[in-house]
Amino acid sequence: MTTPIVAAPPRRAGWVGLVGRRLRDWGPAAVVFLLGIAAWEGYTQLADVEFFLLPPLSTILETVWNDRDTLWSAGWFTFKEALGGFVIGSAAAILLALVLARWRSVGAALMPFAIAANAIPIIAFAPITNNWFGLLNPASKMAISAVLVFFPVFVNTLRGLTSVRPQQVELMRSYAAGELEIFRRVRFPNALPYIFTALKVATVLAMIGAIVGDYFGGSQDALGILIRRSAGIFAFDLAWAAIVVASVVGIAFYAAIAAAERVATSWQPAARVE
């Protein structure tokens, strides 16, 4: 009997150890966060900064609380626009990447256009999509988000699908696997970490698309409209409060995808995730 060269990895540390490690990991970031908040609050209060330049954080948070109904319903409305664009854009990107990974000649024909399309500042199309789908129709914002999301997801998925080690494919061939089987069992799992990296970026892009799309006109319920309108009437605390809500929604969106990533690619060593 050969002795194993490597022992089994140590069992997870106890609850106390875990909390201790978390503190060590997150401690520095928490300190920076608190310092930032203190600096903001202190500076705006002590230096008597003009309200329209930068309101004190405490005022903004107060507004977040007082206008919570308006803010959260606007946040939810805009999140649905972003989510719609995210789903449509990512799905289309992943499907196209699958097709191009399977039929490389099609890919060679389409790739230059995809790259050229990526160089276009998509946001410039916002007024046009408003025109196409109607100013009040959420689809006009979803369209902008979807197009913004599309390219990074497409490129990363394609890279993940095609960066399989040749021998991993040869081995599948030796098991008499066909193309479909190789996609299902090798290319797709190999692409998953790439896809999730792109999807995390895509959550941010989808939120940007939805909010900036609102700036060019949209439903009174939307967050972008709320920000624009409050800034226009010098209600900067409300504008800032809306930005806080947009940030919270954006971070939650990102965190949700990151959590899905951890479940879907749990086989990765912890160090490689993130």
Q: In the complex, which residues of this chain contact another protein (CB under 8 A)? A: 1-2, 4-6, 8-9, 165, 167-168, 170-177, 181, 185-186, 189-190, 192, 265, 267-269
Question: Please, which residue, 22 or 173, has the CB nearer to another protein?
Answer: 173
**Are 66 and 124 within 8 A, CB to CB?**
no
68 or 173: CB nearest another protein: 173
| Nearer CB in complex with another protein: 167/232 | 167
Take residue 23 and report the two structure tokens written for it.
């503190």
Pick between residue 13 and residue 23 the one whose CB is nearest to another protein. Answer: 13
Q: How far is the CB of 8 from another protein (least distance, A)?
A: 7
For 118-131, b/e burial (b = at least 16 CB within 10 A) is eeeebbebbeebbe
Q: Compare residues 112 and 166 and give the one whose CB is closer to another protein.
A: 166
Other CB atoms within 10 A of residue 141 CB: 32
CB 178 within 8 A of CB 120: no
Q: In angstroms, give the least distance from the CB of 265 to another protein.
A: 7
Residue closer to another protein by CB (options 137, 268) is: 268
Query: C-beta of 272: minimal distance to another protein in Å?
Result: 8
Least distance in angstroms from the C-beta of 114 to another protein: 27
* Cβ at position 59, least distance to another protein in Å: 50
Whether residue 211 contacts residue 246, with contact meaning beta carbons closer than 8 Å, is answered with yes
- How many residues are present in the chain? 274
Least separation in angstroms between CB 202 and another protein = 22
Half-sphere exposure of 221 (CA within 13 A, CB side): 12
For the range 132-141, what are the long-range contacts, defined as Cβ-Cβ under 8 Å and sequence gap of 24 or more?
135/217, 135/218, 136/218, 136/219, 138/77, 138/80, 138/81, 138/84, 138/219, 139/84, 140/213, 140/218, 141/78, 141/81, 141/82, 141/84, 141/85, 141/209, 141/210, 141/213, 141/214, 141/218, 141/222
